[in-house]
Amino acid sequence: MRQAILAKLRDWTGRWGVARRARLKLRDWVARSGPPRWEATRDDLAFRYLRGDGVEIGALYNPLRVPSAARVRYVDHAGLDELQKIYPEHDWVMAPDVIDEGERLGKFADESLDFVIANHMLEHVEDRIEALHNFLRVLPPGGILFLTLPDARHTFDGRRTRTTIEHLLRDHDEGPQVSRREHYEDIARIIDCVPEEQVAERADEIAADPARHHFHVWELETFLDLIFVLRLPVDVEAAQVTELEFAVILRKNPDKPSDTITAPWPARRSTSSPRHTPP
């Protein structure tokens, strides 16, 4: 009787083991049969890194899926009714809990959040250096900054010149108005493909449009260059390219050599920094 029970147990274990291995092989084959999917990558990173209380900036129609251990408030620059007027192409947008400029987060105290989510938001910001400073300002040591941006190689920005660090420093030092018109004309020429004689008129139309356009254009490498050149007080926890975007997870680490914690950004501006006319 004992031998019969053991033989049956081995039989069941072997069959279930084979089935499990087959399922795992099928899962791996599906996962590796194409480029990483942006939705799955976002989910994986969110469930790995997000805990506690945080905000998502500019979620609109695609808020990030987060684990139960993460509690999110939604921040946008306008109320729900106005957002629906600005973005009529979307049937549904997330109602903001807090109306605030996402690049400033002026309604949030220092070190008051466990994480900040900004998906496809920074390309719309004119002074990205100020935005990164404020994201880190509201995070405590160990807080998470969750970023995704469109990969310029695979979007309508593909033919635009990648934004340089010198360009960003100039916008930060002198104010983004110094290059704003050039961005509008760049969009008119390269994305809208209007004839040269119509560029000025089209740029005026873009400037009057309440929708927020792509001021800056990056790939993962050029974005990471910015993080390292600015000597941000962060650890890079993850950097992942998918088929349409790239994701970067930064963890605030005030022990990193950096001047961004003790001094506001205007105090570190220098006229000796290299400058050139932005593209």
Stated pTM of the model: 0.75
Q: pLDDT digits over 12-45, tens only?
A: 555 556 666 776 676 666 656 666 678 888 999 9
Percent of the chain with pLDDT over 90: 36
Q: Answer for the pair 237, 258: CB distance below 8 angstroms, yes or no.
A: no
Interatomic CA distance for residues 274 and 144, integer angstroms:
31
Q: Which residues contact 3 (CB under 8 A, 6 or more apart)?
A: none
Residue 263 has a pLDDT of 39
The 10 Å CB-count burial string (b at 16+, else e) for 115-148 is bbbbbbbbbbbbbbbbbbbbbbbbbeeebbbbbb
Q: pLDDT digits over 169-184, tens only?
A: 888 888 777 777 776 7
